[in-house]
Amino acid sequence: MTLTEPSPGDIIRDYANDAWVGIVPLLHDYIAIPNVSPDFDPDWRENGFMAQAVELIAGWCRDRPIPGMTVGVMELPERTPMIVIDVPACNGGSNDDPVLLYGHLDKQPEMEGWRDDLGPWTPVLKGDRLYGRGGADDGYAAFASLTAIEATQAAGGAHNRCVVLIEASEESGSPDLPAYIEALADTISTPSLVVCLDSGCVDYERMWVTTSLRGMVMGTLAVDIVTDGLHSGDVSGMIPSSFRILRLLLDRVEDSATGAMLLPELIVEIPPGRIAEANDTAPLVGAYADNYPLVAGARATVADPAGQLLARTWHGTLSVVGADGLPPTNRAGNVLRPSTSLKLSFRLPPTADPKAAAAAITAALEADPPYGARVSFSNVDGAPGWDAPATEPWLADALDAASAAAFGQPARNFGEGGSIPFMGMLGEKFPKAQFVITGVLGPDANAHGPNEYLHVPTACRLTMAVAHILSAHAAR
């Protein structure tokens, strides 16, 4: 009887499966660390949680059996730390044509609404789902990136030099990232392939490749009308409510009946190719909004499946994500409150200019305040969106082959509604690079919200797929 030698694909699969058995317990430890991003924890350095997360992940990376690898923790003055990993080329790959792999380890805050048996800092594995904040967004990325490199080497495959960056300010809009990209210019060089594992997926049946990301503008809109709270029976009708003034201001930027943006700087013409992509994907996924927990009788803003995909990826939107000046309903007296503040989150079409959008929003909200109220739009921050360059034939073939090897299905493309500021920065800096933006966040994985989870088999399969892509890149 002749024994058949395992194929490279078999070796990659087995290596990834074995590695992820050991990774899951480490992700439990990572989830338990409340290392929220600096925007949500100004005392992050003193609290020490970010340092704990960095050491956990960097320590695991240092222990990996990858010849010639260097692992460092870089910390520029007044910046969050960055894990920097440099892996030399292997099995004939090039050191002069690097691959850049990216992830982040900072987290969103707790958010309310977690199930009684779950919690943001309480890792719980239920079947294939590892619940807790940050496992899928995006703590798994460092583990997946290095395991993919190891699996490639174990299978005898070639890969070019790989630079892995794991940042700690992404959930705050990556304010520290440009400084690191500049400081690491010689290390990063000019990558021809960028792999980012911080995105989403439509389902767990194949590899989903993100072709666009929305940009964003955030800021706090504040309205002050009186200096003290006043009895509503005494002054209402004569003194305007600060909340009503806010409603008037928001009507300047958003059509409240449809949700459409009213400022030209927040609107773009959708490229025909992206419309075709949505039309192609819609029959596969159906009405995408049905994946989300709408209350009984509620409906999406758009009924058409292709329209839903475009609405979440190429339309500008406004969300009110926070408020000050509003007491809880059970503590609210009959008082006309002196002020109200809302934190506004604008999602921008991928090709919109965030600086122009921020300027237009600020001007629209602050001009000619109703009733002469004191109005300000402050703490304004923005980040660019991203629209993928045309996919080169070698990469299109590699994505399908990698997805088939890991998932049993060819890859599919879709636009993502969130923002990854890193992609916009790199898209401008490396316009000739090819991008593989992918991730494990399915429709109900609920990144940023309660009951966030990592679908462990998908993380493992995505690790396999990245290994195949690294080999294809070296061989192209």
Residue 323: how many CA atoms within 13 Å on its side-chain side?
A: 11
Q: Which alpha helices (H) appear in 34-117, and where do they start and end?
A: 44-47, 49-62
Q: DSSP characters for 396-422?
A: HHHHHHHHHHHHSS--EEEEESS--HH
Residue 39 has which token pair? 């925007």
Backbone CA torsion sign across 342, 40, 136, 131: negative
- Predicted pLDDT at 4: 80
Contact 167, 80 (CB under 8 A): yes
Specify whether the CB–CB gap between 138 and 103 falls below 8 A.
yes
Task: Report the predicted TM-score, pTM, of the whole model to 2 decimal places.
Answer: 0.88
Q: Write out the two tokens for 111.
A: 């958010």
For residue 261, the model assigns a pLDDT of 98
The reported pLDDT for the residue numbered 173 is: 87
Cα distances (Å, whole numbers) of residue 275 to 98, 123, 340, 372? 33, 39, 40, 44
* Cα–Cα distance for residue pair 64/19, rounded to 1 Å: 11
230-231 and 335-336 strand pairing = antiparallel
pLDDT, position 242: 98
Angle (CA) 10 26 60, round 5°: 80
**First and final C-alpha spacing in the chain:** 37
- In DSSP terms, 341 is beta-bridged to 222, 324
**Could you tell me which of 250, 154, 141 has the C-alpha nearest to residue 199?**
141
Going by C-beta distance under 8 Å and a sequence separation of 6 or more, which residues neighbour residue 17?
460
- Determine phi and psi for 402, rounding to 5 degrees: -65, -45
Pick from 136, 112, 139: nearest CA to 50 = 139
Tens-binned pLDDT, residue by residue, of the chain (476 aa)? 456 889 999 999 999 999 999 999 999 999 999 999 999 999 999 999 999 999 999 999 999 999 999 999 999 999 999 999 999 999 999 999 999 999 999 999 999 999 999 999 999 999 999 999 999 999 999 999 999 999 999 999 999 999 999 999 999 989 999 999 999 999 999 999 999 999 999 999 999 999 999 999 999 999 999 999 999 999 999 999 999 999 999 999 999 999 999 999 999 999 999 999 999 999 999 999 998 899 999 999 999 999 999 999 999 999 999 999 999 999 999 999 999 999 999 999 999 999 999 999 999 999 999 999 999 999 999 999 999 999 999 999 999 999 999 999 999 999 999 988 888 888 888 999 999 999 999 988 999 999 999 999 999 999 999 999 999 999 99
Task: Check residue 424 and give its pLDDT.
Answer: 83
User: Tokens in use for 267?
Assistant: 């609107």
For β-strands 215-224 and 374-383, DSSP reports them as: antiparallel
Angstrom CA distances, 377 to 114, 217, 258, 421, stand at 32, 11, 23, 22
